[in-house]
């Protein structure tokens, strides 16, 4: 009896503990887990997000916030806790529900004499022979069926013999791991390339392999030493994989339900995932954004430009600086193969779409050129392998989806008619001569300016008021006459808008550059201190989601800031207008929300200075040609020290409706004050309603949103003009994040790095507390100045 008791006890211990290996006849019930030998990964049952459905998945064992990297039954959930994962005598995994029905199976056709199931330290669940650790002999492995995470050691690619394909695909939502709309895979057509698709449509292209990396790699970024990379292309298969060089590093590449692709590294000290890189960073990552024979450069005011020798295809159909460039460009001079064509070299490019190209690994560069020249259908050629300048890549169709880099990139030789090439070469020589003349004149002018500055410096007693304020601003000083000429003497026809600070005018400099001139009125709410503050702060900030400041002008009482001109004006111009708001579909609104969040993250964490904006609102979000948001107006911004988290002021200046309660009534401001304003802005973007202009039962927009949230009716917030263009899970997540941002207590609000992860579906969201909203009729007393439908207020604390 004692022996039997020990056997029963031993069996019980085995059943209730986590397992490290499964043999035929054993199973894993809901509540039990299988762990890897080094305890890095764990397999078991889980419920994603707010869902109550049960799935079998693999996650990191020692990371506090459960991060699931693989799901077995992603299309077939179990609706209670009765699920059992069994391992049969043939080495086949089956998942059974309460009625013993098979809802998922590994369904392998290969078997082993002594099969075992093991979770490896790589996160790979494998069925193999007990004594055989050769990966080539595994008869089933989870790495062959990726979900939304691409882990080191996984393959992406296709077996060209059997047609079997390995690719990652997004979840439908944070609560549903079923296959979503987006996927990342290698397209084997032409010369293989890595592409992201929405359904069957390519939406983003990481490019083709050039011997070191995929061609869409950002300029001036070398392949990370954290990884070793492998790309294989032969008659049997094509695939890509990477391996970690340091086993102590925890890294993953993930695609969220919105199709955003990011590489994450686990920060052990902070106990959080950090974004190592993001694939889609600007409009140039949108597939075919500029159409055929055009290059895209996100740093240009108008990102699209025709290649040399090409012109706009539809010059009369609209403004080339409009939102849609899909028509692309056509040749200015038709090819004349029999009469002679030649090639123009383009440098620092991401090579165009290679899905209809032809490649040869062994051909020399000279042979490549000659082959393309002989074939009248060949439109361009390039090296296949940049390491040694060997191999040949030919295009026989329109060239599409090219990004222009400032550094690195590749050389592309594009076919042009010889007459066109001769004309371009003459222009280039003429341009070089003019450039030499300009350089010489610039040197003379610069020398003269230096002499003048020395003389002015020596005459300190006679310095004008404006001279005192030029110190330390580190920006070009524009002559007052130049600004007068550029704005046609501040003509009303050039006026773009106005506010409590004064007026904004459109201008055109002699060299053709368009500018926006912010002219402060003498009784402006933005005084001299705010003016100096804006100049000294923004000159040190460089980010695609911050407006660019070109210079300033001071003349007597005149104070002006010269910005880049953004033709689409400000966000409020669109979202609060019943006609123009139809131009902002959900995709563009989500793009604006994401861009504002990235700009704020830069101000709070990534810039050389830690900046609190203090006046974030719809009218201070400007939109460029591509509707990319740019945060503007830094007159009220404040710089924080390295360890400083908050500050207090007796002079509260900002815009009512966007101000956090702790700032409006106590003068306390911090990064969480900007987070509050961001939350308000997100709700305005979703609803198309002004925060303060909206009134429902004495509540402003925040109160209305909170009431609908607690009554489980948040979708009623969505603006009617969006129709069916939105993704419900994305909108709900944005509303949820916005309510987290506008919570009453600053310490409850997330920081901007967490906000970005939340918006991308990378984390489970906590329930929000009551927001710090105000009842409309109880306005705070104070000095108020009206600007359109907003109030810029100053409250002197007592």
Residue with the two structure tokens 């890549």: 393
Map residue 254 onto helix, strand or coil.
strand
429: Cβ contacts below 8 Å, ≥ 6 apart: none
Calpha distance 463→728 (Å, rounded) = 62
Residue 615 known to be catalytic: yes
8 A C-beta contact, residue 127 and residue 108: yes
Calpha distance 255→263 (Å, rounded) = 9
Q: What radius of gyration do the chain's Cα atoms show?
A: 31
8 A C-beta contact, residue 519 and residue 511: no
Phi, psi angle pair for 287, to nearest 5°? -60, 130
Calpha distance 685→680 (Å, rounded) = 9
**Tokens, residue 479:** 């002559």
Nearest to 124 by CA among 107, 140, 104, 108: 140
Calpha distance 299→306 (Å, rounded) = 16
8 A C-beta contact, residue 764 and residue 755: no
Map residue 260 onto helix, strand or coil.
coil
- The DSSP code for 231 is E
Phi, psi angle pair for 683, to nearest 5°? -65, -35
Give just the sign of the alpha carbon dihedral 450, 456, 458, 464: negative
Nearest to 669 by CA among 691, 642, 637, 643: 637
Calpha distance 763→776 (Å, rounded) = 34
Map residue 784 onto helix, strand or coil.
strand
159 burial class (0-12, 13-18, 19+ CB within 10 angstroms)?
middle
Give just the sign of the alpha carbon dihedral 450, 455, 456, 460: positive
Query: Which is the catalytic residue, given 148, 187, 615, 633?
Result: 615
8 A C-beta contact, residue 615 and residue 580: no
**Residue 518 counted as an annotated binding residue:** yes
**Integer angstrom CA distances of residue 274 from 252, 254, 464, 546, 605:** 11, 12, 50, 23, 13
Nearest to 290 by CA among 319, 335, 331, 320: 320
By DSSP bridging, strand 646-648 and strand 668-670 are: antiparallel
> For the chain, what percentages of helix, strand and coil (3-state, to nearest 5) are there?
25, 30, 45
- Catalytically annotated residues: 615
Residues contributing to the annotated binding site: 518
Residues at the binding site for ATP are 518
């Amino acid at each position: 009896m004692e022996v039997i008791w020990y056997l029963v006890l031993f069996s019980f211990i085995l059943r209730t503990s986590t397992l490290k290996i499964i043999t035929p006849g054993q199973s894993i019930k809901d509540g039990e887990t299988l762990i890897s030998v080094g305890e890095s990964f764990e397999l078991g049952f889980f419920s994603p997000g707010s869902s109550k459905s049960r799935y079998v998945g693999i996650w990191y064992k020692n990371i506090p916030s459960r991060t699931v990297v693989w799901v077995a039954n992603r299309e077939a959930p179990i609706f209670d806790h009765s699920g059992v994962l069994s391992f049969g005598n043939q080495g086949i995994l089956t998942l059974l529900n309460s009625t013993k029905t098979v809802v998922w199976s590994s369904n392998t056709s290969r078997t082993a004499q002594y099969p075992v199931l093991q979770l490896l330290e790589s996160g790979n669940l494998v069925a193999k022979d007990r004594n055989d650790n050769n990966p080539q002999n595994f008869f089933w492995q989870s790495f062959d069926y990726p979900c939304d995470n691409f882990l080191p050691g996984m393959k992406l690619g296709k077996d060209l013999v059997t047609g079997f394909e390995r690719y990652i695909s997004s979840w439908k939502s944070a609560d549903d791991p079923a296959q979503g709309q987006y996927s990342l895979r290698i397209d084997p057509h032409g010369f293989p390339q890595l592409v992201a698709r929405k359904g069957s449509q390519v939406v983003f292209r990481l490019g083709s392999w050039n011997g070191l990396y995929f061609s869409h790699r950002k300029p001036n970024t070398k392949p990370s030493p954290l990884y070793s990379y492998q790309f294989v292309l032969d008659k049997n298969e094509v695939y890509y994989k990477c391996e970690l060089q340091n086993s102590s590093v925890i890294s993953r590449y993930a695609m969220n339900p919105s199709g955003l692709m990011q590489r994450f590294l686990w920060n052990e000290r902070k106990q959080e995932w950090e974004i190592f890189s993001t694939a889609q960073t600007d409009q140039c990552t949108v597939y075919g954004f500029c159409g055929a024979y055009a290059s895209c450069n996100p740093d240009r005011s108008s990102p699209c430009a025709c290649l040399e020798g090409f012109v706009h295809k539809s010059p009369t159909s609209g403004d080339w600086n409009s939102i849609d460039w899909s028509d692309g460009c056509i040749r200015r001079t038709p090819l004349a193969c029999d009469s002679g064509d030649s090639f123009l070299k383009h440098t620092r490019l991401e090579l165009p779409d290679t899905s209809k190209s032809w490649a040869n690994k062994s051909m020399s560069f000279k042979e490549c050129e000659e082959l393309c020249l002989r074939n009248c259908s060949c439109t361009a050629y390039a090296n296949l392998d940049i390491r040694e300048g060997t191999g040949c890549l030919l295009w026989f169709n329109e060239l599409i989806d090219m990004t222009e880099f400032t550094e690195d990139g590749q050389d592309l030789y594009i076919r042009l008619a010889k007459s066109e090439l001769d004309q371009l070469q003459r222009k280039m020589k003429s341009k070089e001569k003019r450039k030499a003349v300009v350089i010489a004149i610039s040197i003379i002018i610069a020398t003269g300016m230096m002499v003048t500055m020395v003389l002015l410096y020596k005459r300190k007693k006679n310095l004008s008021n404006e001279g005192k304020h030029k110190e330390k601003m580190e920006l070009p000083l524009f002559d007052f006459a130049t600004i007068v000429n550029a704005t046609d003497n501040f003509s009303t026809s050039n006026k773009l808008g106005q506010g409590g600070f004064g007026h904004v005018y459109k201008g055109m400099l002699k060299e053709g550059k368009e500018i926006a001139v912010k002219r402060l009125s003498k009784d402006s709410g933005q005084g001299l201190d705010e003016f100096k503050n804006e100049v000294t702060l923004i000159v040190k900030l460089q980010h695609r989601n911050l407006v660019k400041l070109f210079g300033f002008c001071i003349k007597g009482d005149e104070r002006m800031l010269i910005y880049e001109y953004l033709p689409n004006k400000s966000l409020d111009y669109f979202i609060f207008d019943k006609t123009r708001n139809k131009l902002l579909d959900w995709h563009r609104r989500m793009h604006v929300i994401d861009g504002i969040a990235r700009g704020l993250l830069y101000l709070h964490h990534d810039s050389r200075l830690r900046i609190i904006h203090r006046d974030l609102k719809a009218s201070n979000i400007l939109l460029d040609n591509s509707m990319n948001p740019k945060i503007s107006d830094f007159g009220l911004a404040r710089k924080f020290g390295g360890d400083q988290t908050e500050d207090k002021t007796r002079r509260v200046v900002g815009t009512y409706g966007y101000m956090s309660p702790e700032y409006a009534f106590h003068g306390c401001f911090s990064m969480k004050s900007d987070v509050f304003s961001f939350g308000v802005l997100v709700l305005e973007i979703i609803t198309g309603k002004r925060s303060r202009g909206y009134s429902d039962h004495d509540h402003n927009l925040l109160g209305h949103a909170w009431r609908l949230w607690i009554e489980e009716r948040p979708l009623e917030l969505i603006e009617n003009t969006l129709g069916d263009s939105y993704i419900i899970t994305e909108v709900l997540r944005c509303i949820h994040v916005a309510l987290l941002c506008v919570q009453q207590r600053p310490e409850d609000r997330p920081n901007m790095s967490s906000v970005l992860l939340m918006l991308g579906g990378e984390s489970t969201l906590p329930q929000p507390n009551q927001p710090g909203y105000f009842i409309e009729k109880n306005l705070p007393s104070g000095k108020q100045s009206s600007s359109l439908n907003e109030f810029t207020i100053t409250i002197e604390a007592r």
